[in-house]
Structure 1
Amino acid sequence: MRRTTADRERRRELADASQEAVTPVTGSDPLFPHPPAYLQPRRALPPTEPLRPVEEEPEGGPGGEESGTCAVERPAGVTGGPERQLAVAQWLLSAAQDVDRARVHWQQGSHLALLACGGIFSAVRVPAHLVWAATGSEDLAEVDARLRTWFDGGAAIMDLHSHHYYFLVPTSAAPSCGDHPRSDVAVLGRDHYLGVPPVSLTEPGGRSYWSVPMWGPGALCYMDEVEQLIQRGRAARDEADNA
């Protein structure tokens, strides 16, 4: 998807703001025995680290003379692997009403933590048949690979029991449920809760897993990318129905 540097800067500001709301972990925490670097005192941003190339809007805007690709930026201090997962997990736990219980559920492997929507994130619930139509496949591994290419970062959970995908988006960017012409898509905001699997569960297993793993605290989906995916899925199904 085409993104400007300003777009990515706004997402990084979201991650920074979310970090300030998180209670730092301590060495006595069994789930987080070593505080991740992202939760340490702030320091200057390091040089950007390539995650994957994505198309970017030319510096002069559409039709500008300069064009090319730009790497997705990671939040400061997040280097990937276990450290990244610890930082993401701690960020998500700030949405739990019962943090201790959520931690215990995650320690049990494939159990879900109940997190409140409408605060640090909201969720767009999309039936699997629309996502599969948009990606042109029902093979979960293939769908995951295509979603991770479609989204410029972002985070998505697949519920294997209900056959729904949940795309995590900034609450400020989430539309109301009434903005969708069909009732098969819903936005979960305030007064809604979402069962979230452990951040390490990134392959099909248990009740749900991370189809698009969150690569850093506050790294949510762009709402317009979610909407375009939904529109693409509906168009593909309408075309198949009329064939």
Structure 2
Amino acid sequence: MEPTARPTGAALRPMETGPGTLVHPAADRRLAAEHWLLSTLPDHARVKAREEWTHHRMTLLPLGTLVSAVRLPARLVLAVAGGRVPSRDVDQFLAEVLEDGPVICDPRSQQYYALVPASMPATWSMAAAEWRPAEVECLGRDCHLGVPRLDVTEPDPLGSYWSVPMESAATLCGPLSVARLIAAGWHEISGRSDDETA
């Protein structure tokens, strides 16, 4: 096979490593995930969102069409993760229990946002009502979320970052994994409250 010239800046094609196996470079997966997230916006708003990512590292995206989010208070996450503040150890814990589903951390408001299928607020509405005492909320239609640029993956006390990065388009947290995390965190918090009143 003879080498072919490729225009400068063109995306690399996937490389075959063996029969039936394709490897997609991380940059291609990130670009596909960006396109997927931005597809929640009307065409005219996508350019502005990209500019906001470039200049401010954050853009506001609507929820409820392709993706929804479950807002988790940091105290609930930290109770089960064993941390005192958002950290890389907590991020690794979340990656394990949520099976690498994407999570955004906002250290300023002390909140985590697990990205879930758009249908979760409707299909899990009864469970979501039970989660309210734990200050957990399912965010879907009529809600917006500040989404960091996909390469913002380091903890930053001044801004949101990807606690668990979005590795590929449409890869989301499983609702059952999120529900288990909430149950474990609420159990830990409730147990501490019972110990303090005893």
| Residue 133 (str. 1) matches residue 88 (str. 2) | no
How many residues are aligned here? 176
For structure 1, the residue ranges without an aligned partner over 5 or more in a row are 1-26, 28-32, 39-44, 48-76
| Residue 158 (str. 1) matches residue 105 (str. 2) | yes
User: What one-letter code is carried by the residue in structure 2 that aligns with 1:195?
Assistant: G
| Residue 117 (str. 1) matches residue 117 (str. 2) | no
1:103 & 1:171 partners in 2: Cα distance?
Answer: 22
SS of alignment partner, residue 182 of structure 1:
helix
Q: Retained in 2: the 8 A contact 1:78–1:84?
A: no
Deviates more, 1:110-119 or 1:125-134: 110-119
Aligned match of 2:166: 214
SS of alignment partner, residue 66 of structure 2:
coil
Q: Retained in 2: the 8 A contact 1:168–1:220?
A: yes
SS of alignment partner, residue 180 of structure 1:
helix
Aligned match of 2:31: 86
Aligned match of 2:193: 241
* RMSD value, Cα: 2.3
Higher gyration radius (CA): 2
Q: Cα offset for 1:172?
A: 2.0
Q: Which TM-score applies when normalising by structure 1?
A: 0.66
For structure 2, the residue ranges without an aligned partner over 5 or more in a row are 1-6
Aligned match of 1:198: 149
1:135 & 1:36 partners in 2: Cα distance?
Answer: 39
Q: Which TM-score applies when normalising by structure 2?
A: 0.80
| 1:80–1:184 Cα change, 3 Å | farther
1:95 & 1:168 partners in 2: Cα distance?
Answer: 14
1:92 & 1:190 partners in 2: Cα distance?
Answer: 15
2:12 & 2:71 partners in 1: Cα distance?
Answer: 31
Aligned match of 2:181: 229
Q: Retained in 1: the 8 A contact 2:120–2:138?
A: no
Aligned match of 2:3: none
Q: Give the number of the structure whose residues are more often helix, by fraction.
A: 2
User: What one-letter code is carried by the residue in structure 1 that aligns with 2:173?
Assistant: C
Q: Retained in 2: the 8 A contact 1:36–1:84?
A: no
| 1:46–1:194 Cα change, 3 Å | farther
Q: What per-residue deviation string (whole Å, max 9, x for no partner) do you get for residues 126-156 of structure 1?
A: 1110000011112411100111111223111
More relative contact order, 1 or 2 (CA 8 Å, 6+ apart) = 2
